[in-house]
Structure 1
Amino acid sequence: MRAIAAPFAVAAPGGARIRDRLRVTPGEAEVLRLIGDHLGRLQRTDLALRVGVGRVKAGENRRAERKKKLTAGSSSRWAGAMTRASENQYQLSLRCLYDERASLGRAARAIEIRLAVPCGERKGKARGYAYQGERWAKQRRLAMLRTRLARVDARIESGRPGIVVGGRRLARVRHSLADAGLTEAQWRQRWEAARLFLTADGESGAPYGNYTISVDPSEGGVAIVLPEPLRHLANAPRGRYRLTCAVGFPHRREEWLDRVTANRAVRYDVVHDPARDRWYLDASWATETALLPTPEELRALGGRLLGVDLNADHLAAYVLDPQGNPIGAPLTIPLDLTGPASQRDGRLRAAISRLLRTAREHGCAGIAIENLGFGDARAIGRETMGRGRRGKTFRRTVAGIPTAKFRERLRSMAFHAGLVVLAVDPAYTSVWGERYWKTPLQQQNQKNQQTTVTRHHGASVAIARRALGHRVRRRPGVTAHDRRIVTRRATGQAAPTPRACGTASPPRTASTPLPGGKTRPRRSDQLALFPTSKTVREVTGPSPARLATVRPTPANNAKNGSS
């Protein structure tokens, strides 16, 4: 069994992005296309120059020289935005190459380990392939992986990643339009819309936080500085083009107003959706880094926690008290992610909103989730996730779980709801949840005939207990309710509270850990009162258990004649 990593608090979002629709006229839409096409060509030229420079230090990327060339065909601020976008795209592509190299290396090593074992045999944890045909196919697969790995290494060494402005996936769709259900004209519209460049960086101290694309907070008017070759289209002073429509940014409007009225930097992006033929304006800005409580500080507060287990078609959740006891009934939230991408995102947000409502209703201080990435699983594939029809189904299920999207949406929405997201190690949560928690939870909810407890609900309990610092395993009697004690303590997780001298300890219950590995109470385990000088009781009988319960005091020693 591998070591379990410590839980940690997921970082708060470092920025904000809001969107509002631009209801432009056909003439204004044509002007926006002209601006985006012109700036897009300049930005792609600058990106090619940046790739040609290669992997160098930040001060040696010749940005000042490239910006000077771009300023002649646009403006100084447009040129700064284009060089910044080129640098970000280049660094992102390099990181993707590093990730691809690591992924190919993991897959190749997994096959090499299995090829080192003869067919049908096992050496330690490594198992050979079932028959020679599969082994031969894996040898071919290994050769292909090594070829791809060598190609990626060469790109990294040369510092020239392959970048497709507009998206490699959309570029490949051009060769299979019938399968994608698109005509050539529809594909061309999407391709041109993806290659537009209408991004203006914010500038603190500039009017309303941005000089290139400015939005008046009182009227909502939008004005864009035209590039030098398109200044003849200006309908406002100083080479600007003012749109007739207005924007209001209803979502998080107060935050946006606080920034633009104080002339703080706000970045604007004009985006075109060719499928709906709509134009949008996105506003984004950086936020101050929030200091979130650590898991230890959250445990010290004594708040409840909502454990969530993410699955392909639903979310399983359970509320736990600070001692690690499940409270109430299990929660199952359907998660249907079929259909268009816009609908999938909306359904995911609706599921997360329901989770947040449940957490607030039960007074939870945070939400516990698994630190899932599935990077190794997707890279290695059938070498570790099974073969045949069953393994293929499982791999497809893993590929369909929106881990990254769920994590980003949850941390952002939970932060604004005042909740902390704790990520735990996902090792053995489903296995131990089914083994130790599924049956007791079903017995606890047996009065409600409509409640069905699954292994995923047990996994959610295991996740929350791990975030609280408790053991995942349980002892008999944890989830039951006593007639006198409504809620029992968790199995050995609560810290013992020291009692004052002269008081009796509470009676031990089945859930209280006893020394020596005992799990049931015994009469001799009941501690007696601490003897004092006024109340000294004679201990009759040679019972060692009762003698051990009397703490010697000076008065008691004097009475017995001992020193």
Structure 2
Amino acid sequence: MGGVRELAASFVVPPAAGVAVRDRLKRLSERDVEVLRRVGDHLGALAGRDLRARCAAGPGHDAAGWAARKRAVTAASSSRWAGAITKASHDQWGLARRGQLALVRSLEAGIAVLAYRLALPLGARGAQGKPGGYRSRREWHAKSRRLEILKARLEQVRAAWQSGQVAVVRGGRRLLNTRHHLAAASLDEAAWRQRWRAGRRFLQADGESGKKFGNETIRVAPDGEVSVKLPAPLAHLANAPHGRYVLGARVAFAHRGEQWRDRVEAHRAVAYRIHEDTARGRWYLTASWTTPAPVVLPLAAVRAHGLVGVDMNADHLAAWRLDAHGNPLGAPRRFGYDLTGPAAHRDAQVRHALIRLLHWAKRHHLAVAVEDLDFTDSRSREKHGRKKRFRQLISGMPTGRLRARLVSMATTLGIALVAVDPAYTSKWGAQHWQKPLTNQKRKATRHEAAAVAIGRRALGHPIRRRTAPPPHDQSDRAGHRTVQAAPETPGREGHRPPIPGSRTGCGPPGHGANAVDQNTQDRSGCSAERDHEPWPQRQDSPPLSL
């Protein structure tokens, strides 16, 4: 394949299996807020002790240990609160373990790149996507020290991984570190402590099918009435029978409200979470439930009528519609978003761009092709060295947020997603499609050409264009000129191998520095011609003496 790595097969992305909606708890009284805070603080303390016990058990945790933890929590709350707390602790421990393993792999990748670059001579240039040597002796010395630091850190993380020890902060490590930088965060100690307490509260309950309104712990009636089952030590705060406290607020989910109402009226499981936004002084309730797994369409059915290729960038989505044969149709589309400002603004920008893209694809009844992006390894400074601006650009691309939002919103609209290998899409798209798609009225960008490349790969067509030899004359006897290799052509994504032998009108195979690249050009006698039927050679004119 001439240095081209093996490409992963395209696949249809599994649809989202869950739904979450949120509404604000308005018109809460002072007593309502006091009760919610006391219940959340009490259950949060129990959750902290249970998480400590779960982390101490490590990988050797079993069903007997889980039952013992649940009995310990039940004595100070209830069996249902204990079930929710122990499950949350187990999930949090599992998440910390997965993060620990990801850190091990990241450190191993960084050490491998540092060792490779340190072994190269100073000033050596990189080749075939690999970085070169360091520029100076001073930089080499600094990187050698960093290599030893990473090796020591890797040993510590590996030892913790093998022993099952994890570091978990209830309330968030970022908020914990903010305590030492209050001035930079524009907070005082009282405001920080209020956020810290709110982040460590526990007010969430899993749903139960067959129970009244789908949840016995946090119950929301179809008319929006919210009631909470109080723990045993706080039962004296109840204002309703059976140790329950009814809030004065009512909820009415504007999004998916009918689906939620159908579930609670049928007593199907719905999980709830109550939390306080201290910055705004508001309380919110989030409802979530699982949905039946939709039927995943086969890849051939998704490709039948073409699709929309989408290239994800730091500030916009570039999209182009393609037919089933991989030909671009119409004009490209650009869906921009602004990722500056607070998190709520960034999330709204991403959702707005995605919904415009999906509505456009929905109007044409087409699937959407995206790259299977994961920039975990590409963000390290060991890989890109001094390219700080490029690392910041990659880190600023919301790949995780876009991917999660896109899957959820596409599932809601019934749009299939196809994920493709991102290798060479930008490079080959610009090389083979940017110029042909540019005309006097429209200049195709590199990102729009990459969208075409992504769509062609999702359709099973090669990205790289190859032009057949010219016909015999100006007539159409030779048939339509092909501009691409057939899907069954071997090695269609790589360079054509040079074929020895005499050529008419060109030099020997492999001649010149750019001989490999010239094989993709529309030139007589190049190796691209050999994959087709042999063309009749030009007959010389007879001599005048005959």
What TM-score, normalized to structure 1? 0.82
The CA deviation at 1:118 is: 2.9
The CA deviation at 1:175 is: 0.3
The CA deviation at 1:247 is: 1.1
> Partners in 1 of 2:97 and 2:462 — Cα distance?
41
Give the direction of change, closer, same or farther, for the CA distance of 1:488–1:260 in structure 2 (3 Å limit). Answer: farther
Partner of 1:538: none
Partner of 1:361: 363
Partner of 1:315: 317
Q: Is the 8 A contact 1:304 1:363 kept in 2?
A: no
Determine which of 64, 68, 71 is the counterpart of 2:67. 64
Give the partner amino acid of 1:151.
Answer: Q
> Partners in 1 of 2:220 and 2:481 — Cα distance?
59
Once structures 1 and 2 are overlaid, which stretch shifts more, 251-260 or 459-468?
A: 251-260
Q: Is the 8 A contact 1:117 1:123 kept in 2?
A: no
Determine which of 202, 205, 211 is the counterpart of 2:210. 205
Partner of 2:164: 159
Give the partner amino acid of 1:276.
Answer: R
Determine which of 344, 347, 351 is the counterpart of 1:342. 344
> Counterpart of 1:19 in 2: which secondary structure?
strand
Determine which of 428, 450, 467 is the counterpart of 1:459. 450
> Partners in 2 of 1:298 and 1:356 — Cα distance?
15
Partner of 1:499: none
Partner of 1:434: 430
Q: Is the 8 A contact 1:324 1:490 kept in 2?
A: no
> Counterpart of 1:438 in 2: which secondary structure?
coil
- CA deviations over 1:159-178 (Å, ceiling 9, x no partner): 12011100001000000101
Partner of 1:501: none
Partner of 1:168: 173
Q: Is the 8 A contact 2:214 2:270 kept in 1?
A: yes
Task: Give the superposed CA RMSD.
Answer: 2.5
The CA deviation at 1:146 is: 1.1
1:352 aligns with 2:354: yes
> Partners in 2 of 1:319 and 1:205 — Cα distance?
47
Give the partner amino acid of 1:317.
Answer: A
Partner of 2:405: 409
Give the partner amino acid of 1:374.
Answer: F
Where does the alignment leave 5 or more consecutive residues of structure 2 unmatched? 469-475, 490-521, 523-527, 539-546
Give the partner amino acid of 1:226.
Answer: L
Partner of 1:304: 306
Give the partner amino acid of 2:237.
Answer: L
Once structures 1 and 2 are overlaid, which stretch shifts more, 487-496 or 243-252?
A: 487-496
* Aligned ranges 1:15-414 → 2 under 5 Å: 15-23=18-26, 24-60=28-64, 62-121=65-124, 127-217=132-222, 219-299=223-303, 302-364=304-366, 366-378=367-379, 381-387=380-386, 391-414=387-410
> Partners in 2 of 1:63 and 1:84 — Cα distance?
9
Q: Is the 8 A contact 2:218 2:229 kept in 1?
A: yes
The CA deviation at 1:126 is: 6.5
The CA deviation at 1:521 is: 9.6
Determine which of 9, 12, 35 is the counterpart of 1:9. 12
What TM-score, normalized to structure 2? 0.84
> Counterpart of 1:48 in 2: which secondary structure?
helix
- CA deviations over 1:170-197 (Å, ceiling 9, x no partner): 0000001011111112111111110010
The CA deviation at 1:386 is: 4.3
* Aligned ranges 1:485-500 → 2 under 5 Å: 491-493=484-486
Q: Is the 8 A contact 2:54 2:61 kept in 1?
A: no
Determine which of 413, 418, 422 is the counterpart of 1:422. 418
> Counterpart of 2:9 in 1: which secondary structure?
coil
Q: How many residues were matched structurally?
A: 485
Q: Which has the larger radius of gyration?
A: 1
> Partners in 2 of 1:385 and 1:262 — Cα distance?
55
Give the direction of change, closer, same or farther, for the CA distance of 1:180–1:280 in structure 2 (3 Å limit). Answer: same
- CA deviations over 1:462-518 (Å, ceiling 9, x no partner): 0000000001022469xxxxxx9xx9987354899xxxxxxxxxxxxx9xxx98556
Give the partner amino acid of 1:257.
Answer: R
> Partners in 1 of 2:227 and 2:423 — Cα distance?
53
Give the partner amino acid of 1:465.
Answer: R
> Partners in 1 of 2:529 and 2:443 — Cα distance?
37
> Counterpart of 2:427 in 1: which secondary structure?
helix
Give the partner amino acid of 1:463.
Answer: I
- CA deviations over 1:173-230 (Å, ceiling 9, x no partner): 000101111111211111111001001111111101100111111x211111111111
Give the direction of change, closer, same or farther, for the CA distance of 1:131–1:205 in structure 2 (3 Å limit). Answer: same
